[in-house]
A = this chain, B = another copy of it.
Amino acid sequence: MYKQTIVVRADLKMGRGKLAAQSSHASLSAYKKVSKSNPEIIKAWEMEGQKKVVLKVNGEAELFEFFQKGKDAGIPCEIIRDAGATQLEPGTYTCFGAGPWDEKTLDQIFGKLKLL
């Protein structure tokens, strides 16, 4: 079983539209990375219904910590910075996307984090 995990900073208190847009950036960026490296995983994930899970961290330090852990585990991850036209300081790191990748590995790395 495969899923995609999106990890979002809860401390930024993004508005709902900003949250949706930033999460979509993360999802799409990680998807493209896996499309190149592991197209067979993309196919399997799509067959299974494209499961996505959104988890939260409480600050930039924790975002980077888990982003690094994901990469160290070999999971394709892409971190997102906001262009900063509204709401946030330009260049604020908001979230990252991980995978789609196998569910067990994702749970080992990100299983401690709570659902957003």
**Chain A residues at the B interface, C-beta cutoff of 8 Å:** 4, 6, 8, 15-17, 19-21, 23-28, 31, 49-50, 52-56, 83, 115-116
Contact (Cβ within 8 A) B16 A19: yes
Distance of A4 from chain B, by nearest CB (Å):
8
Q: 7 smallest A-B Cβ distances: which pairs?
A: A24-B27, A20-B23, A17-B116, A17-B54, A21-B52, A20-B54, A24-B24
- Of chain B, the residue at the smallest CB distance from A95 is B20
Copies of this protein in the assembly total 2
CA distance A56 to B16 in the complex (A): 10
CA distance A37 to B16 in the complex (A): 30
- Of chain B, the residue at the smallest CB distance from A20 is B23
A-B contact pairs, 9 of them (CB 8 A): A6-B21, A8-B20, A20-B24, A21-B54, A23-B23, A24-B27, A24-B52, A27-B28, A28-B50
Distance of A115 from chain B, by nearest CB (Å):
5
Distance of A3 from chain B, by nearest CB (Å):
10
Residues of B within 8 A of A15 (CB): 116
